[in-house]
Amino acid sequence: MEDKESKINLVIIACDKGGFDLKTKIKEYLLENDYVIVDVGIHLLDQKQTDYIDICKDLCAKVNQMPASKGIVVSDNGINVEVVCNKFRGIRCALCHDYYTSEMTRKHNDSNILALGQSVTGFEVAKQMVEIFLKTPFDRSVPEHWNRLKKIEKIENEGAC
Residues 6+ apart with CB under 8 A from 134: 7, 8, 11, 35, 70
Q: Quote the mean pLDDT of the chain.
A: 92
Q: Which of 16, 39, 44 is nearest to 28 (CA)?
A: 39
Give the model's confidence band at 161: pLDDT under 50 very low, under 70 low, under 90 confident, else very high: low
- In the sheet that holds 10-15, the strands lie side by side as 36-39, 10-15, 70-75, 113-117, 93-95
What pLDDT, on a 0 to 100 scale, did the predictor assign at position 50?
80
What pLDDT, on a 0 to 100 scale, did the predictor assign at position 45?
79
Alpha helices in 114-142 (DSSP H): 123-135
Per the CB < 8 A criterion, the answer to whether 93 and 73 are in contact is: yes
Read off the pLDDT of residues 23-74 as tens digits, 9 standing for 90 and up: 999 999 999 999 999 999 998 877 666 899 999 999 999 999 999 999 999 9
Residues 6+ apart with CB under 8 A from 47: 41
What pLDDT, on a 0 to 100 scale, did the predictor assign at position 4?
40
* Mean pLDDT, range 79-88, rounded to an integer: 97
The reply to whether omega before 42 is within 30° of 0 (cis) is yes
Residue 142 scores a pLDDT above 60: yes
Q: Which of 4, 10, 14, 52 is nearest to 30 (CA)?
A: 10
Residues involved in catalysis: 108
Alpha helices in the chain (DSSP H): 20-32, 52-65, 79-85, 99-109, 123-135, 143-158
67 or 78: whose pLDDT is higher? 78
* Calpha distance 85→151 (Å, rounded): 19
Read off the pLDDT of residues 2-33 as tens digits, 9 standing for 90 and up: 434 455 799 999 999 999 999 999 999 999 99
Dihedral sign (CA 10, 20, 65, 132): positive
What pLDDT, on a 0 to 100 scale, did the predictor assign at position 156?
87
